[in-house]
Each structure stands twice: as structure tokens, then as C-alpha cells.
Chain A
């Protein structure tokens, strides 16, 4: 994307939740290549360390913070440690998420609360601690992970659909509240993307990976998304290329929702 040696995120600090795998990992690697110092935040210590190490081995700057994004104290610590060790916080990518493939009948109360905590409450918590830092620095960017299922319904995923609908509208509300602080807030709505989460869905539904992935590829562009496809969308929203874009959802789904 960049014509600039140093990258289009040079001098920026980005915190990425769920950075140990899938879309979060691809985004961490891409942002680092584009010059950002990256704080990889995840509960997966081994995976998160590996991503941070890969960035450092590439001669870039990264740290790993072990953090349960559903816990306020953890989120506050993740933001603080990022600021202390990387010198600020310009980009918050609220990417961490989980899915439970079940109807209302089959979803337990614990599962419902956990999906809401990881997918929605985490955005509230991290933004709460990140926004004052961004505002003080003159602005920032927040990118929330929504989903095509935040825009339309999906079968056997009621808690996930509810959580992603919430993400889409809290993105708009945050954009209204923090525009005057020059903080842009947008979300990305991917379609099925080849990540560990997608393969876990196949397992939850008792389907083979092959069959599940083949069905997911039935969309106008005739393939499923790759983490890199979504990372590029995040890069667009994180960069100055989108300086007048706020309160929107960027759909990246190979045309899945077009018709």
C-alpha cells in the first residue's frame, strides 16, 4: 500500500486485541510492516508472544500483553503498558471475538454473557481507557470488529448476531461522541474468513472443515476471505487515507451481502 519507505503508519502505536491469531495476527504483521509499533493483546500467551517476536525479528517494534479483554483491570493494564512501553496509543483495533453457534434454546446463560463480554464489553472497556489518551494527543483511530452478521441475521448464532449488531451501532454512537476530539471510529464487517474461529464453527456444527469452507465460498467472488483481505481494510481505516471516514461499517465479504 505504501509508497513510503517507512510505511504509512510510521510513528504510530497500534493496540490490537485478539492479535495472536487469524485477522488480528495478519493485521499486527501488516501494521508493523507499515511502520507502526504494535501492542499484541490476547489471552493466548504462546500465540501472542510468537506474533510480537516475529515483528521484533523483522526489525520492528512490538510488545505482547496477556489480557482477558472482558476484564476491566486487564484492559486498563493493556492500555497503560502500551503507552508506557511504546510511547502512546494512536490506533485501537478492537478485533478480539468469539462465536457460539447455537439458537436461543441451545445457548446457555453463561455462553450468552461470555459472547457479549468478549465481543461487546471489551470494546467499551478498551475504548474507555484509550480515548482520553488519544484525545490528549490530538486524535486517534478506533476500529471495531463487526461482522456481516451484525448487518443481517444468521442461523444458529444468536448471541454472536446480537453482539455484532451491537458493535455496528456502538461504532456509530462513539463516532458521534468523539468526532470533535478528532477520534474516528469505524467498524469492519467481514464475511467468512479463513481463521481458527471459522474452523471452530465447523467443529461446533459437526461439519467437516472442507464442506464448511466450500459452502462459505459460495459468494460472488467465489472464495472465502483471507485474514490479509481484512487486514488491508483495517489498514485503510487506520491510515490518513480515510481521514474523513467515521461512523461507518466497511463490508469485506466478496459480495456475500450484495444480493
Chain B
């Protein structure tokens, strides 16, 4: 990808799964990468795995004050920001009728409040520094209905609309897009799904398999690069064709 060398990149939720794969890919592209996560142990681990990282920051994206403090740390590490991968997110598998107010609050707090808090801090620095790219983590769950993740799905729809509105207000200096993965084999997915459930997912994906974190990382690097210089305000689906047909496509 063109134009990623020496770019200053922040990846939230970057200590594992898609975030960690994305950190590795940006390092490959020659970028300077800082990973933010609330999981201190996972950050220690990734620091050992990826010694080229420019730093790690412990922070909870759902807490605005903590995010403000984290960005002061980031200023010390990178003195500005060119690319934000706004990736941190959580999900809880539960029926709509069973969602407690606390659970609802928790999911929205990380997936939507967190994306907003981090994006606003990042955009401040990008506007001051002459531009940048913000990539928010959406999901095919923000585009279609899915059982047992009503709060998560609502949060991801919110991220998609937030992306479009941010793109309008921050243009032309800052490009803002959203990545919508379908089923990707991550630790989050493996923890929540039984092998039978994973096989059921594979059977409804035209490419016949789940995606890999590295494949989502490749989409992030493309959208962050100069190759995507005219792309802003949109969401990009990476799902092996799953939502191309919805239920009607099932044989």
C-alpha cells in the first residue's frame, strides 16, 4: 500500500484478534504503531511479540477522561496522529428479553461511546496536523438483523451512521470510513461459538469459510493508504459474501 511508511497509527483494542493483526500489518508497511487496550496483560504480551511497536497504552475507551489521558500519553509517544483504527469493541450473547440495563449500557459504552470519545480526540490532532484517516469498526451486524446480539447490532449501526456524519464534517482534511466484517475467526468468536456453530456459519458463507484477522487488517491498510485517497464516508463489507443474499440465498 502506498503512503503508510512512517505514518503514526493508533489501534484501539489492539492487543488481540483483529486489532493485533492490524498492528502487525501496519508495522510491515513501515508505520509507527501504538496499541491501546484495557487489558494490561495482553499489552505486555503483544509488546514482547511485536518489539517494533512505538508503545502501548492502557485505557478504557468507554471512559472519556481516561481517553483524554491516553491521548496525552499518545502525544508523548508519537507527537500527533495520522491514522486511527477505532477497533475496540465487546459483545455479549444474550436474548433481547434478557438484556439487563447494565449489559446494554456496557455494550453501548464500549462500542459507541468509546468510538466517539477516541475519534474526537484523534480528529482534534489530525485537524491540527493537516489531515488524517479514521477507520471505525462496524460489522455486518450493523447492516442486518442477527439473533441474540441486539445491543451489539444497534451499537454497530450507530457506528456506521457516525462514520458518515463525521466524514461530512471532517472533510476534506480527514477521511472517515467504516469496516464491516462478517464472521472472522478471532478469539472473541472462538470463545462465544461452539465448533458446531462455527460450521453452521461456514455453511452460509459463499466462500465456505470464516475470514482471518489478517484479511481484515489488509482492508484497514488499504483504506488508510493513499490508494484510497478518494474514499470517504462509506462502509466496506468483508464477509465472504454472507450478506450478499441474506436468508433468501440459503439453499
Contacts and interface: CB of A to CB of B under 8 A. Distances in A.
A176 B168 contact: no
A247 B227 contact: no
A258 B238 contact: no
Contact of A251 (B206, B212, B231): B231
A255 B237 CA distance: 17
A22 to B, nearest CB: 15
Given A221-B172, A242-B218, A251-B231, A258 B243 contact: no
Given A221-B172, A242-B218, A246-B244, A259 B164 contact: yes
B230 A254 contact: yes
A184 B244 CA distance: 12
Interface string B200-220: 000001111001100110110
B212 A244 contact: yes
Interface string B220-245: 01100101111111101111111111
A228 B222 CA distance: 15
A236 B219 CA distance: 9
B124 interface: no
Q: Which of A184, A225, A244, A256 has the most CB of B within 10 A?
A: A244
A68 B6 CA distance: 47
Contacts of B219: 241-242, 245
Interface of B: 1-2, 164-165, 167-168, 171-172, 175, 184, 205-208, 211-212, 215-216, 218-219, 221-222, 225, 227-234, 236-245, 249
Contact of B237 (A182, A223, A245, A258): A245
Nearest to B3: A1
Contacts of A172: 241, 244-245
Contacts of B215: 242-245
A252 B231 CA distance: 5
The 10 closest A-B pairs by CB, nearest first: A258-B233, A179-B206, A247-B244, A220-B171, A255-B233, A172-B244, A244-B211, A247-B241, A229-B230, A232-B227
A175 B241 contact: yes
A248 B235 CA distance: 10
B218 A247 contact: no
Interface residues on A, range: 35 or more
Contacts of B237: 245, 247-248
Interface of A: 1, 171-173, 175-176, 178-180, 182, 184, 220-223, 225-226, 229, 232-233, 235-236, 241-248, 250-259
Contact of A258 (B168, B205, B228, B236): B168
Contacts of A171: 244
A255 B240 CA distance: 25
A194 B219 CA distance: 26
Given A220-B232, A222-B172, A242-B218, A176 B167 contact: no
Contacts of A175: 206, 241, 244
Nearest to B164: A258
A257 to B, nearest CB: 7
Nearest to B28: A3
5 contacts: A178-B206, A221-B171, A236-B227, A242-B218, A245-B215
B168 A255 contact: yes
Q: Which of B221, B225, B228, B233 has the most CB of A within 10 A?
A: B233
Contact of B228 (A179, A232, A246, A259): A232
A184 to B, nearest CB: 7
A236 B234 CA distance: 16
B30 to A, nearest CB: 9
